[in-house]
A and B are shown apart, each in its own frame.
Chain A
Amino acid sequence: MAVLFIRTALFYGAIVIFLRIMGKRQLGELQPTEFAVTLLIADLAAIPIQSGSIPVLNGLVPIAVLLVTEMFLSILTLKFRKLRMIISGHPMTIIKQGKIQQDVMKKLRFNTDDLLEELRLQGVSDVGDVDYAVLETNGKMSVFTNDQNGLFYSVISDGKVDKKVMENLNLTSRDLLRIVRSHGYTDESRVFLMCMNQQHKVFIEGKQ
């Protein structure tokens, strides 16, 4: 019994340390990869705790491998936007400029009850008040009402331009370069993040 006591404490400590290394993001809203890691960690820890004949290392080594994989993947997704899209998916706009996107809802298998429930959870009782509703990659819905600035799209992320967003905002390459230069940056590659809404209101931050 004393062995079980020590094993449990050991795994508790190890998991807390590993989750801390993975970062605060792990403890909040989970991305698909993070969710998978969390599920697996719980399972991997439970087996050696319950069975005294299985070495502690049989639980700790796979958990360490998961930690390393998760960190490696997070570095890659930080650098490569396309990989981020493949792994985490991308936010889906369910209500766009006050209009419900039924094709998107069908694609997401999101019914009207789900939509109304999510809106209620965000404190919105009338769908008509909603300008934009976006289902984020972590499964939460962001809601923007008519009185707000509307949805800001990420046009440039880590120096890379998103052509689809540009099309969506009716923005030409020339316009973009002009905006970037007006904020004191030589070109798009110098920009860390640039967001813009339908009214072409801009947020821009340069690379450090």
Chain B
Amino acid sequence: MSRYITTFVIFILTVSLTIYSSIYIKNHCKALNSLMEEAEYFIENSMYENAEAAVLEAVKTTRQKRAVLCVLTNHDIIDNLSNNLVRTLSLTKNKEKALALSEITVTREIIDAIFDAQLLTVENIF
């Protein structure tokens, strides 16, 4: 009987962890995406200080949550994301409009890929 109880506890823990990790990653991606949208808008309108603040916020949030994100998902993807955010910040600081915008596009692609990987879709299952 204790064996069944242990299995049931493991089942509950696994399901909870899976749901928690999915929600955690999705929330982080949503927050980053909206910050990137903001930064994109500010750069397009040459408001570099505001754009820098938005990107900096994204860098800080990712650094804060990095430990948890690395436990929940592939380290390489998180490293890529962090590198792209830092590069975007640097380009925004130097007011390199075209490069910063293209870097934001790449970063948003990475964020979308992380978000999509959490979805329960036929594409992801197979």
Contacts and interface: CB of A to CB of B under 8 A. Distances in A.
B70 A55 contact: yes
Contact of B73 (A52, A55, A68, A71): A55
Given A55-B73, A55-B75, A68 B3 contact: no
A65 B7 contact: no
A23 B4 CA distance: 11
Interface stretch (B10-18, B29-37, B83-91, B106-114): B10-18
A53 B74 contact: yes
A85 interface: no
B7 A54 contact: no
Q: How large is the interface on B (under 10, 10 to 19, 20 to 34, 35 or more residues)?
A: 10 to 19
Contacts of B4: 71, 75
Contacts, number: 42
Given A53-B76, A55-B71, A55-B74, A21 B3 contact: yes
Given A55-B73, A71-B7, 15 more contacts: A21-B3, A21-B6, A21-B7, A53-B74, A53-B75, A53-B76, A54-B75, A57-B72, A61-B14, A61-B18, A64-B13, A65-B14, A67-B10, A68-B10, A71-B4
9 closest A-B pairs by beta carbon, nearest first, are A53-B75, A71-B7, A68-B11, A64-B14, A53-B76, A64-B10, A21-B6, A55-B71, A21-B3
Interface of B: 3-4, 6-7, 10-11, 13-14, 17-18, 21, 70-76
